[in-house]
Amino acid sequence: MSPRRLGGLPGALAALLCAGIVRAEGAAAPCVRLTRAGTQVQGDVRICPGRYRIADPAERGVLIAAASGTRIDLSGVTIESGDSVPARYTGVGVASRGVDGVTLIGGIVRGYRYGIRLEGGRNHRLSGTDVSGSRRQVLRSTEERTDTTDRLDLAHPDVFVPYGGGVLLRGTASVSVTGVIAHGGQNGIGLVDANDSYLADNDLTDNTGWALHLFRSSHNTIVRNRAARTRRCPAPEADCGAAAILIREGSDSNTIAENDLTGSSIGVLLTGQPPVDRASVGNLVYRNDASFAGAAGFAARGSWSVTFLENRADSAATGFQLVRLSGGIVRGNTVIGARRAAIEVAHGGDTGLEANLLLGAPVGIDITAPDTGMPLSRGFRIDDNLLGGVGQGIVLRGAIDSRVRGNVFDGVGDGLVVDGAGHGTEVTGNVFLRASRWFIDAPDLTAGGNYWATADAPRAAARVRGRVSLLPWKPASAAGY
């Protein structure tokens, strides 16, 4: 369109239209009707209600916020690619690049690699948009056989960014995402080099990869989101890299709180596997529910200084899986009915496992050092946990310089099991109530100053296997039992 054919319009507006940019301002501004991919808008824009079927093979974006401060109202609008094969979806529904303060409200965007993709800029606001049905890989795994091609790459952004998702924030700061819906795709919301974001009250259920994932993204707050049933490989306890919330590669000081992660392969996964990944440091995982997890409710692999506080992981294969975690805290959590172990630890150390309620599992707390050539597990503080209805309460194999203090063992098979490496473990102030086999099973251990539900010290000694000193012996009644 030439400026001559726009003779009735002001010169500035004619120039914008010639450049393919639609600018709408003022209460009386007309709505904008989409006709092609690459439509650039700025100002306060309302898209005309209706359904738009527009492909975006160049992946620039069907609708592009071209200037800072752009506000786009998609109320009553559906934007779709027209493709019917999720594994082939390409394009982006709504995009921005290098501008600040983009606001997007309402609407439905579906059938693209990314429903919304914002690159760079600060203070964007996304609210109430439905980006369900984004790109999704074909899965080949069955309950009988896990296909290795289904396993997700956790380390390389050049691989996982093309996976697609409902929303991608890349290189952004201080973005708010609330009330967004992203069902039935591979990924819900992805943060890559995105800091200080606020993601709250979004519905990201029933995806096959990651409902929320963070890569080199720090100081983000992720609260009250529904990310249930994020599952990939259907075989029991299969781990194909899927997780309701994935935190990796130097994503530090994030707060993950009060999210529904139930029925997922893994509820929260923090991973930093050298030399490929950097550890993520200082994350708080607080009051989330990851019950019925296929592999683990909460997992930290190669991480440092993570706090798991008052979370729940009932009926999971493993409640908490900690591999090479250093400087962590697992406190006040509840795990009932774990199929393998309530808390499972391999290597790592200087971590507190404190005041957890662990009921009905083969093992309550299992600390090992299975990999030869790696350091033993060390420096664990296992304090004030309640262990009941478990085959083995606390197991230390290949763990040194640790403390077991103030725990209650009730209705266990074996209470405390310690191998020769743990002969120097401090064991004091624990309450041993009921055990069907041994209260303590250890080749050599000092366990004086504990409380026993026996009439006297000789009767307690009869329920201990190994060279274990129980003196001074104290009755359980002295501890209020």
pLDDT in tens, 365-415: 999 999 888 889 999 999 999 999 999 999 999 999 999 999 999 999 999
Is the predicted pLDDT of residue 22 greater than 80, yes or no? no
Burial of 350 (0-12, 13-18, 19+ CB in 10 A): middle
Mean pLDDT over each residue of the chain, to the nearest integer: 92
Kindly provide the b/e burial profile for residues 146-171, where b requires at least 16 CB atoms within 10 angstroms of the residue's own CB.
Answer: beeebbbebeeeeebbebbbbbbbbb
Is the predicted pLDDT of residue 264 greater than 90, yes or no? yes
Is the predicted pLDDT of residue 149 greater than 90, yes or no? no
Task: Outline where 96-184 has alpha helix (H).
Answer: 157-160
Is the predicted pLDDT of residue 10 greater than 60, yes or no? no
**Any idea which of 22-36, 106-120, 250-264 has the lowest mean pLDDT?**
22-36
The residue-averaged pLDDT of 98-116 equals 98
More confident residue, 158 or 328: 328
pLDDT bin (cut points 50, 70, 90) of residue 150 is confident
Q: Model-level pTM?
A: 0.92
Is the predicted pLDDT of residue 12 greater than 60, yes or no? no
Is the predicted pLDDT of residue 6 greater than 60, yes or no? no
Give the number of other Cβ atoms within 10 Å of residue 362's Cβ.
14
| 16: DSSP letter | H
Q: What is the pLDDT of residue 46?
A: 98
Per-domain residue ranges of the chain: 36-143+152-415
CATH code for residues 36-143+152-415 = 2.160.20
**What are the tens digits of pLDDT across the range 290-332?**
999 999 999 999 988 999 999 999 999 999 999 999 999 999 9
